[in-house]
Amino acid sequence: MKKQTYIWLALLMPLLSSCVAKTETESAVINSIQLEHSVLSLSKEATKLHVPWDLQYDKVNDAILFSEISGSIRKLDIKTKTVTLIDSLADVYHQRTLGLLGMALYQPEGQQAYLYLSYTSKKDSSIFSNLYRYEYSPEGKLAHPKLLLQIPGNTGHNGSRVIVSTDKKVYWATGDAASDTFAQDSSALNGKILRLNLDGSIPKDNPIANSYVYAWGFRNMQGLTHDAKGMIYTSEHGDAIEDEINLIRPLKNYGWPQIEGMIDTDKEKAIAKRSPRQEPIKSWTPVVAPSGLAYYGSGVIPEWKHSLLLATLKNQSLRILKLSANGQQIVDEKVLFKDQLGRLRSVLTLPNGDIYFCSSNRDWNPQKGFPKPDDDVIYRLRITDKASAPIIKPTTPKAMNNPAKTGQTLYEAYCASCHKADGKGLNNTFPPLANSTLVNGNPKDLLRVVLHGLKDKHIGGAKYESTMPSFSFLKDEDIVEITNYIRTHFGNSASTINQQHLTSLR
Ligand code: HEC
């Protein structure tokens, strides 16, 4: 090349790149979503991520800030779609469900902005959950970390999400750290909604003097959001049954572990009679594994105005939960993307009415057919004039008792998320039911495990970190169907079980 050409290029380059920056990069629309009146388009905004856990909107830089579970914080520029690294946190302890989890970006007009982060760390053999505050500069740099709170953690049930609500207070939804007592102990900080000042001190108007505790009795919350008036909602993982959406009120006890979901068994009613317990505003059995939650208050998508948007993991869907006018009830539920995009982790609504959400297919428990080469992905939903891609429509959730209850449908509803559809389990996490001595052995030993659950047992020389929940809530005939299904599938061929085997085991 001649010297002259170089000069021309050098002059042209800044011009060319500024042109690119000005025009918004249009992403390919994957699907058009037909609502009652509006049409939305679904597009991929960022791909090949590693378990993005939380999404936040940086209004100063018009960017999506996201945490990834192994400890990085990155930024997606909305217009150019470039992804840049902001920071990698060296002391994040990542394993299975542990790592860098929830965050909240607080950007008040003309004042110092803060990024609140919740993550697990490990010292010697102890695990902790930490709430940190970083200063966030207008250029999007992190500085001056301050540890606001450190509480016990565990190999599971570490929550967690964090928000700054309309009252300028920080709310931290903590997990019960798999403890039997923390959630009901008002002096412990696990299994709680904690309320802090922006600097981490205890607010003077907290419901218990000199305590961070705002509400208690929670198991493992993975969704936390607030509406324009400061009403706070959570999503929470149940054990084998009763995933929940809760409306959070000060000083209320949400019941875990004595009460699961609605107060509907005789035992639960007796407990609630002795001292009041708060019921969820929605519960799901079979479980959906609810994760990120975002309030949609915008009128841009009129059908969804005043709804909670919920990302689910096990159920692999985005759910639109329409709120009643006073926000105290969920009056309608719609399901989108069922099994299409895999596990969904987090959802975010923007002031302009756009919705961003992300998949979590590279996490510890990938579902059948995932991850895809592009995973994990940040998706965008945006209103549009007309459909330009294959049309999909939201559906109403399947009525629970409708589908024929065969051994297979029951197994898929209650067991397959852990032991997998083919009964092969998941390395070091869930044991295989195929060729299991217990599954093929004495009926009563098998029924005992299904009825009462199992913990810390060595199976075939392996130790599994998680626990097997109790399924005593299932009817006798359903348990018989399931156990016979697993005894005659996955290569197993044991004798059949009947209801008589169950008597005396309950
Ligand atoms: C949330 C995950 C989860 C679900 C859902 C679940 N299990 Fe398990 N299951 C486990 C874990 C973890 C273990 C191992 C526990 C241990 O090591 O102590 C286990 C162990 C078992 C065992 C013992 C296996 C052996 O070889 O000893 C059987 C049988 C079993 N589960 C059956 C079922 C059935 C039937 C269902 C559905 C009704 C079910 N499980 C649902 C997690 C789960």
Q: What is the 3-state secondary structure (H, E, C) of 448-484?
A: HHHHHCECCCEECCEECCCCECCCCCCCHHHHHHHHH
The three-class DSSP label of residue 132 is strand
pLDDT tens digits for 153-173?
A: 999 999 999 999 999 999 999
Task: Answer yes or no: is the C-beta of 471 below 6 A from any ligand 1 atom.
Answer: yes
How far is it, in rounded angstroms, from Cα 97 to Cα 83?
A: 24
Cα 335 from Cα 157, distance rounded (Å): 26
How remote is the CA of residue 431 from the centroid of ligand 1, in Å? 7
Burial class (CB in 10 A: 0-12, 13-18, 19+), 131: buried
Task: Extract the tokens encoding 442.
Answer: 């004495």
The answer to whether 353 and 298 have CB atoms below 8 angstroms apart is yes
What DSSP state is assigned to residue 46?
Answer: E
**Would the pLDDT of 499 be above 80?**
yes
Instruction: Say yes or no: CB of residue 468 within 6 Å of ligand 1.
Output: yes
Domain 407-502, what fold?
Cytochrome Bc1 Complex; Chain D, domain 2 (1.10.760)
Q: Is the pLDDT of residue 403 over 50?
A: yes
CA of 418 to the centre of ligand 1 (A): 8
Ligand 1 atom having least distance to the Cα of 462: 17
pLDDT of residue 278: 94
Over 50: is that where the pLDDT of 456 sits?
yes
Please tell me if the CB atom of residue 466 comes closer than 6 angstroms to any atom of ligand 1. yes
Burial environment of residue 230 by CB neighbours within 10 A (0 to 12, 13 to 18, 19 or more) = exposed
CA nearest ligand 1 atom 31, residue: 468
End-to-end CA distance of the chain: 85
Tokens encoding 192? 């709680």
**Predicted confidence (pLDDT) per residue in 40-71, tens digit:** 999 999 999 999 999 999 999 999 999 999 99
**Domain 27-392 in CATH 3.40.50.300:** no
* Boundaries of every domain in the chain: 27-392, 407-502
Query: What was the pLDDT predicted at 389?
Result: 94
Does 21 score more than 90 pLDDT? no
pLDDT of 4: 53
Range 447-461 average pLDDT: 89
pLDDT at 15: 47
Q: Identify whether the C-beta of residue 278 lies closer than 8 Å to the C-beta of residue 261.
A: no
Confidence of residue 24 (pLDDT cuts 50, 70, 90): low
Say yes or no: CB of residue 428 within 6 Å of ligand 1: no
What pLDDT, on a 0 to 100 scale, did the predictor assign at position 504? 82
How does the average pLDDT of the chain come out, rounded?
A: 92
List the single range of 47-51, 216-220, 223-227, 267-271 with lowest mean pLDDT.
267-271
Is 430 touching ligand 1 by the criterion CB < 6 Å?
yes
